[in-house]
Amino acid sequence: MDATLHLSDADASAALARRLAPELRPGDVLLLGGEIGAGKTHFARALIRARLGRDEDVPSPTYTLVQTYDDGRAEIWHADLYRLSGPDEAFELGLDEAFATAICLVEWPDRLGTHVPADALRLDFAMLDRPGRRLRVHAEDGRWAKRVPLATAAHD
Ligand SMILES: Nc1ncnc2c1ncn2[C@@H]1O[C@H](COP(=O)(O)OP(=O)(O)O)[C@@H](O)[C@H]1O
Ligand SMILES: [Mg+2]
């Protein structure tokens, strides 16, 4: 699937994250792309809070690389790979196993090189010269098309 949306403000991003949250299950990997400040952590935070059902503190994993959560149905891994020294360190962190067993939200996924899961959902955020963000949604695996709640978001 391929779609481009305009998320008019931070609340629109959070609303999309909240709608996607209940569709996810262990083994799902979301690759959150975009420059610093594009809104990756904001999206992940809203998604994690929706899964947990409470306004938990969801810090950016900038320095820890990974923060984990458990919502009772799934383990959630929130990773920020900006400071990853190389794909090997991702294995040391246990990310490869988490890709199979947890819901994974991965910022700076390009740091994984060729180890990016082929069936992941890719969400690329971009800043614009107008308010809001552009979001490109891409998945090779057609099963995502039914699960991504695009209908209620504004198409570009
Ligand atoms: N759709 C949006 N429109 C406008 N601002 C947004 C949107 N999504 C997120 N933001 C804002 O962008 C800023 C940076 O977000 P953050 O998630 O920290 O970026 P990243 O993790 O990509 O570096 C935050 O202040 C957040 O509120
Ligand atoms: Mg971030």
CATH code assigned at 70? 3.40.50.300
Ranking 38-42, 70-74, 141-145, 151-155 by mean pLDDT, the lowest is 151-155
Q: What is the DSSP letter of 80?
A: E
Q: Which pLDDT tens digit goes with each residue over 120-134? A: 999 999 999 999 999
Instruction: Judge whether residue 57 has pLDDT over 70.
Output: yes
- What letter represents residue 101's amino acid? T
Distance in Å, CA 30 to ligand 2 centroid: 14
Mean pLDDT of 56-77: 97
Say what the pLDDT of residue 70 is: 98
Going by pLDDT thresholds of 50, 70 and 90, the confidence category of residue 152 is low
Helix (H, G, I), strand (E, B) or coil at 22: helix
Cα distance between residue 139 and residue 117, in whole Å: 11
Full domain range(s) for residue 75? 2-152
Distance 34 CA to ligand 2 centre (A): 9
Ligand 1, pocket residues at CB < 6 Å: 7, 9-10, 12-13, 34, 36-42, 107, 132-133
Average pLDDT over residues 62-87: 96
User: What is the pLDDT of the chain when averaged over all its residues?
Assistant: 94
Banded pLDDT at 156 (limits 50, 70, 90): low
Q: What element of type H or E holds 56?
A: none
Report the number of distinct structural domains present in the chain: 1
Ligand 2 center to 117 CA (angstroms): 20
Q: Which residues hold their Cβ within 5 A of ligand 2, which is an ion?
A: 40-41, 60, 107
How would DSSP label each residue in 18-38?
HHHGGG--TT-EEEEE-STTS
Other CB atoms closer than 10 Å to residue 57's CB: what's the count? 7
Structure confidence at residue 149 (pLDDT)? 83
DSSP H or E run through 48: helix 40-52
Q: Do residues 18 and 144 make contact, with C-beta atoms less than 8 angstroms apart? A: no
Q: What is the pLDDT of residue 154?
A: 54
Q: Which residue has the higher pLDDT, 114 or 122?
A: 122
